Amino acid sequence: MGTLIRLEFQKLFRRGMTYIGFIAILLIVLIIQIGMFVEGQKLLDFLIKSLSDVFLLEGKLINNYTVSYIILNSLWIHIPILVAIVAGDMVSGEAGRGTFRLLLVRPVSRTKLLTAKYIAAQAYAAMLVVFLMIMSLGVGRLFFDNGDMIVLMNTINIFDESDVMWRFLAAFAYGAISMWVVSGLAFTFSSIASNSLGPVVGSMSVLIVFTIMSNFSIGIFNVIKPFLFTTYLNGWQLFFDDPVEWDKVIGATLIMMFHITALYFLSLWIFTKKDITT
Amino acid sequence: MIRKSFFLFIFSFVLTTSFPVYAQVNAEEILATVLKRSAEVKSFEADVSIDVDVDFIRIPVKKGRVFYKAPEKFRFRATGFVLVPKKGMNFSVMEMLNKKNTAIYVGADDINHMLKIVPMTDESEFVIASVWVDKAKKRINKMDVTTNGQGNYIMEFTYGTMQYDLPETTKVTFDIQQVDIPLKFIGNLKVDQKKAGERSKGSVSLVYSNYKVNGEIPDTVFDETIEN
């Protein structure tokens, strides 16, 4: 099994498309960081102007943590696309390249092969999240000092510098789990299709439709909402509320873990039943 | 003769007690005494902790050091971000009272004289202020200010055993407008639309310690460009 996973990683990193995600994150994060470095303080001063009627605002809120939070908020919609591009190609890519039959004549069970691919896809999603974390919190340190962070949740929360890092680590961990759901979805589509485009477009379509439904606060959608995984994708923000609503965090994590497992078994079921013709 | 003297005594007694006692107290004098005592402080620095209590702001208690140099140089230094109340710092009160005002004596309680301060200039930031001045110590214990369009604020001061009239604690209660911050990427502030734009009450408590009064403070301390 270890060899299979290693081979999947080798295949994964030989493909140029694997690096698209990393390059996109690198560029976008750098652009935001440079932009915030140049204009960030002015922007924030304008936004919290209403507080300046009553308070003198001392100290800098544009710092590494605030900018990292802005990056997370800006990028969280786009990371799923980058995850889906690779996860959607994991199985269907083999079919598209015509290497499946060659692969399956070897003494490897379909279950083991698919499991190795699923693990590689999920590891890739986690790598993207870790890369985003390194870029935002690590590289951001080259531009900004650390400091207190402002977050607008139900209230204006200003967190002390010492109270921020664990929130980021928890948010990124949660983010990795939510990306595993997206990756699992794209992977499931990938196990059905025989070209890479279909699973990517399919999973993105599901994501868009579900996100729209999750954001509607009317009638029938309110009933469906708790069952849609998209309702929980933004849950990383819960760690920046004060106090953190742990029951919501745990509930959302369990639901997403259920999705990840269910999608794995669904793709396994599809793949083992599938007639390999390419 | 005895009868005449008795009537004279009664007349003078009635004359002296028929007017309220406070009619004899000169409000301008009280205010002048307060300002004179406060003018003894040419500069100070002190540690201060700031506890903000506004229903839509969550910020931990912040500690820092405050620097003041007469007449109006002020700097707060702390690590991190701090919300310092604009109104209610001791010197800003004195600055306000030092302008052209009229003081009216309106009464007294067990501890304080009560004055009304009316500004005599058009540019004044406040419309009227009620001031409670400690009868014995001649220092301000409380102040209720009605501003020009920015609502009311109340300041309450407590003092320690210092020879100068610098407070140990200050509590400022003020009106604050619900903010509607127009950005999505820094969070997801759900402003109650019914409350948006409404004024609600907030307060800030400041606790001072380690005062250093009338010491030398270099002007560079007040330089905005110096990092905290």
pLDDT recorded at residue B74: 81
Strand partners, B130: B116, B144
Report pLDDT for B18.
Answer: 46
Tokens of A215: 């954001």
CB-neighbour burial class of residue A267 (10 A; exposed 0-12, middle 13-18, buried 19+): buried
CB contact under 8 A, B83 and A56: yes
Interchain pair A54, B202: CB under 8 A: yes
Residue A187 in contact with residue A94, Cβ under 8 Å?
Answer: no
What is the domain range of residue B114? 24-222
Residue B19 lies in a domain: no
**Cα nearest neighbour of B184 on chain A:** A73
d(Cα B42, Cα A215) in Å, to the nearest integer?
59
Binary contact (B81, A150; C-beta < 8 A): yes
Residue A124 has pLDDT above 90, yes or no: yes
Which positions ≥6 away from A168 have C-beta within 8 Å? A65, A68, A133, A137, A239
Angle at A27 between CA A21 and CA A28, to 5 degrees: 85
Residue carrying structure tokens 């680590």: A169
Give residues 34 to 53 of B whose Cβ lies within 8 Å of A: none
Residue B77: CA atoms inside 13 Å, Cβ hemisphere, count? 16
B contacts of A242 (beta carbons < 8 Å): 58
Torsion of CA A121, A124, A125, A126, to 10 degrees: 120
The pLDDT assigned to B22 comes to 47
Range from A140-144, A192-196, B55-59 that averages highest in pLDDT: A140-144
CA B189 to chain centre: 33
Q: Which residues pair with A143 in a beta bridge?
A: none
In a domain, B183, yes or no: yes
Q: Which of A8-22, A196-210, B85-99, B141-155 has the lowest mean pLDDT?
A: B85-99
- The answer to whether residues A191 and A270 touch, using CB atoms and an 8 Å cutoff, is yes
Q: Looking at the domain assignment, is residue B6 inside a domain?
A: no
First to last CA, chain A: 24
Task: Tell which of B188, B190, B191, B201 to mutate to test the A interface (max A CBs under 10 Å).
Answer: B188
> Least CA distance to B179: which residue of chain A?
A50
Looking at residue B17, its pLDDT comes to 47
Q: Do B187 and A55 touch (CB under 8 A)?
A: no
Mean pLDDT for the stretch of residues A21-39:
90
pLDDT at residue number A256: 93
CB < 8 Å to A33, chain B: none
Residues A265, A188: Cα–Cα separation, whole Å: 9
Does some domain include residue B52? yes
- What pLDDT is attached to residue B181? 58
Whether B186 and A154 lie within 8 Å, measured CB to CB: no
Residue of A nearest to B192 (CA): A154
Contacts of A50 in chain B (CB under 8 A): 177, 179-181
Positive or negative: CA dihedral B208, B212, B214, B216: negative
The minimum CA-CA distance between B182 and chain A, rounded to whole Å, is 7
Indicate if the pLDDT at residue B3 is higher than 70.
no
Q: Which chain B residue's Cα is nearest to A149? A: B81
Structural domain includes residue B92: yes
Pair B50, B68: CB distance under 8 Å: no
- CB of A85 within 8 A of CB of A21? yes
Q: How many Å lie between the alpha carbon of A223 and the closest alpha carbon of chain B? A: 22
| pLDDT digits 0-9 by tens, B172-212 | 888 877 665 555 555 555 555 455 555 678 888 999 999 99
Band of the pLDDT at A70, cuts 50, 70, 90?
confident
Q: Give a yes or no: residue B42 inside a domain.
A: yes
Question: A238: Cβ–Cβ under 8 A, 6 or more apart, which residues?
Answer: A174, A244, A245, A248, A249, A252
B185 touches chain A (CB under 8 A): yes
Averaged pLDDT for residues B163-179:
83
Mean pLDDT, residues A44-64 taken together: 76
Q: Tell how far CA A139 is from the center of its chain.
A: 19
Tokens for A45?
A: 């001063």
Closest CA of chain B from A165, distance in Å: 15
Residue with the larger pLDDT of the pair A122 and A105? A122
Q: Which of B9-13, B104-108, B205-209 has the lowest mean pLDDT?
A: B9-13
Instruction: Find the mean pLDDT for residues A141-150.
Output: 88
What is the reported pLDDT for A119? Answer: 93
Distance from CA of B117 to the nearest CA of A (A): 22
Per-residue pLDDT band at A278 (split at 50, 70, 90): low
Predicted local confidence at residue A234, as pLDDT: 84
Domain count along chain B:
1
What integer is the mean pLDDT of B51-63? 87
A-B contacts at Cβ under 8 angstroms = 112
pLDDT (tens digit per residue) in A197-219: 888 888 889 888 888 888 777 77
Per-residue pLDDT at A170 exceeds 90: yes
Query: Is B75 within the bounds of a domain?
Result: yes
Q: What is the pLDDT of residue A257?
A: 93
Query: B189 in contact with A at a CB cutoff of 8 Å?
Result: yes
Q: What is the pLDDT of residue B58?
A: 87
Does the distance separating the beta carbons of A156 and B57 come in below 8 Å? yes
User: Which residue in this structure is represented by tokens 């100290």?
Assistant: A59
Q: What is the CATH number of the domain that holds B39?
A: 2.50.20.10
Chain A within 8 Å of B2 (Cβ-Cβ)?
no
Query: Per-residue pLDDT for B106 more than 70?
Result: yes
pLDDT at B186: 59
Question: What pLDDT, on a 0 to 100 scale, did the predictor assign at position B98?
Answer: 80
DSSP, collapsed to helix, strand or coil, labels residue B173 as strand
Chain B closest-CA separation from residue A210 CA (Å): 20
Residues above pLDDT 90, as percent of chain B: 13
Q: From the CA of B80, how many Å to the nearest CA of chain A?
A: 5
Please check the confidence at residue B135 and state whether its pLDDT lies above 70: yes
Q: What percent of chain A has pLDDT over 70?
A: 97
Q: Which residues of B touch A57 (CB under 8 A)?
A: 81-84
Separation of first and last alpha carbons in chain B: 82
Cα B83 from chain centre: 17
Q: Minimum mean pLDDT among A98-107, A147-156, B94-103: which range?
A: A98-107
| Cα–Cα dist A255/A250, whole Å | 9
B30-40 tens-digit pLDDT: 888 888 888 88
The residue type of B182 is P
Name the average pLDDT for chain A: 86
| 3-state SS assignment for residue B88 | coil
Position A247 confidence tier, pLDDT thresholds 50, 70, 90: very high
pLDDT of A143 higher than 80: yes
Instruction: Decide if B1 is inside a domain.
Output: no
pLDDT score for B166: 86
